[in-house]
Amino acid sequence: MPDTTNHMPQAPILWSFRRCPYAMRARLAILASGIKVEIREILLKDKPAPFLAASAKGTVPVLQIPGKVIDESRDVMLWALAQSDPQNWLADPDGTNSLIDTNDGPFKTALDHTKYAVRFPDRDTSADRAKAATILHDHNSRLAHHAHLLGEPETMADAALRPFVRQFANTDRAWFDAQDWPHLIRWLTAWETSDSFKTIMAKRPVWAAGDPPSYFP
């Protein structure tokens, strides 16, 4: 007789690292989409062979779906929201792309030079922090009129930028909170105290071969 056992299709596999802002934004989009993935938490200092086999870049996030590997965080977000976008996060693609380009380019560069100043002894850390602050003041101006970066509804842009703004804030939280960007602080704090933040930041054991699947969300 034919096998009539029900076989569940394999969930996409998401390789992740809890504190990485790129992986955080990917998890936010997956959470918003309502899609379930098998999540594999790794340590970046001890990358497992199956992870490196999936993507030689060796950076998270990496999403494995049948016949395809997606290893850029923005592309993971777009893939998830293309499957399901109940909150209409893709409402303003041009505005979203412009904000992410600035975030992933000049802001991330200034953030790295500030956060990892010891690696760049020839640079002026205060000047790099000022470059990042200029971009954040622009965000604050946007947020003076709306709850989110592109208007009242939250969009992919908010999810894509918040983990990086948080990382910058945490380089010196007292300094960050003392700056004249109250709307930016409100926007960041609202996320840091949200259920979505708690969900994506839940601690998980490090993946090992042979472990039973762990799913997100």
SS3 13: strand
pLDDT at 103 over 90: yes
One domain, residues 179 and 206: no
Q: Are both 107 and 158 inside the same structural domain?
A: yes
Are 142 and 81 in a shared domain? Answer: no
Q: Is a pLDDT exceeding 50 seen at residue 3?
A: no
Which tokens belong to 40?
Answer: 């594999």
CATH number at residue 75: 3.40.30.10
How many domains is the chain partitioned into structurally?
2
Q: What is the CATH number of the domain that holds 178?
A: 1.20.1050.10
Please report the pLDDT score of residue 9 as a whole number.
63
Query: Does 28 fall in a domain?
Result: yes
Q: Is 179 found in the same domain as 163? A: yes
Q: Give me the chain's average pLDDT, please.
A: 94
Share of residues in the chain with pLDDT > 90 (%)? 88
Does some domain include residue 2?
no
Choose the most confident range, by mean pLDDT, from 4-8, 151-155, 180-184. 180-184
- Residue 5 belongs to a domain: no
The answer to whether residue 151 is domain-embedded is: yes
Q: ∠ at Cα 28 (84, 189), nearest 5°?
A: 135
Q: Is the pLDDT of residue 96 over 70?
A: yes
Per the model's pLDDT, the better-predicted residue between 3 and 118 turns out to be 118
- Are residues 118 and 134 part of one domain? yes
Confidence of residue 122 (pLDDT cuts 50, 70, 90): confident
Same domain (yes/no): 211, 183 = no
Judging by DSSP bridges, how do beta strands 37-41 and 13-16 pair with one another? parallel
Percent of the chain's residues with pLDDT above 70: 96
Query: pLDDT tier at 120 (50, 70, 90 boundaries)?
Result: confident
pLDDT bin (cut points 50, 70, 90) of residue 4 is: very low
193 with 209, same domain? no
> Is residue 139 in some structural domain?
yes
Measure the CA–CA gap between 179 and 175, rounded to whole angstroms.
7
Q: Tell me which residue range forms the domain holding 80.
A: 13-86+200-216
Question: Do 35 and 23 fall into the same domain?
Answer: yes
Domain contains 32: yes
| Average of per-residue pLDDT across 176-195 | 98
Query: Are 100 and 73 found together in one domain?
Result: no
Q: Are residues 101 and 177 in the same domain?
A: yes
**Does 2 score more than 80 pLDDT?**
no
Q: DSSP character for 68?
A: E
Would you say residue 165 lies in a domain? Answer: yes
pTM: 0.93
Of the candidates 131, 130, 197, 128, the residue with the CA atom closest to the CA atom of residue 158: 197
